[in-house]
Amino acid sequence: MKIKNKGFTLVELLAVIVILGLIALIAVPIVLNNIKKTKEDLYDTQIELIKAGALSYVTGVIADPSVNTAISSMVKSHEAGIVNIKLAVLEQAGAVEVNVLNPFCDGDNKYFSPDFTTIEIRYDGKEFDFDVYYDVSSGDKYEELKNSCVAKRG
């Protein structure tokens, strides 16, 4: 009677491990790159939502000039100017949601800082333009904004 050995040889197992290693070597950088791109896209979307909230806020100021006299006086006189407001102002006005998600933050601190995230409202006498940055006196404001992380509030 002949005995049949069942199983894989060491060479077969090593071949499978090498193939799996090659697949991982190719797949991991692709997955990590996709995660980074997704974070960048979400970040850009959040910034656009903040800018849309700033436009909503400015529209509200035009309707009720007492809300922000600096903006309303620029509009009334058609004079160019710049007004800086904090994200907290837009949150209080209901122009953006409280706790705007920052995709570059991890752990419990996942949101833009309402006290340091600044919206620059520029008016050229005819139309508005908006920019969002982190309120610091030195360094790259935009890179700092990506690291502006606070815990959920309210």
Over residues 96-151, the pLDDT tens digits come to: 999 999 999 888 889 998 988 999 999 998 899 999 988 766 566 777 888 888 99
Q: Which two tokens stand for residue 133?
A: 């940055």
**What is the mean pLDDT of the segment spanning 73-89?**
90
pTM: 0.81
Whether residue 5 is predicted with pLDDT greater than 90 in this model: the reply is no
The span from the first CA to the last CA of the chain, in angstroms, equals: 78
Burial of 140: CB neighbours in 10 Å, binned 0-12, 13-18, 19+: exposed
The dihedral region occupied by 140, where left means phi > 0, alpha psi between -120 and 50, and beta the remainder, is: beta
pLDDT value for 136: 61
For the CA atoms of 35, 39, 44, 50, the dihedral, rounded to the nearest 10 degrees, stands at 150
- Give per-residue burial for 108-120: e unless 16+ CB within 10 Å, then b: eebbbbbebbbbb
Burial of 39: CB neighbours in 10 Å, binned 0-12, 13-18, 19+: middle
Q: How does pLDDT run across 11-67, given as a tens digit for each residue?
A: 999 999 999 999 999 999 999 999 999 999 999 999 999 999 999 999 999 889 898
Q: Which two tokens stand for residue 98?
A: 């409280």
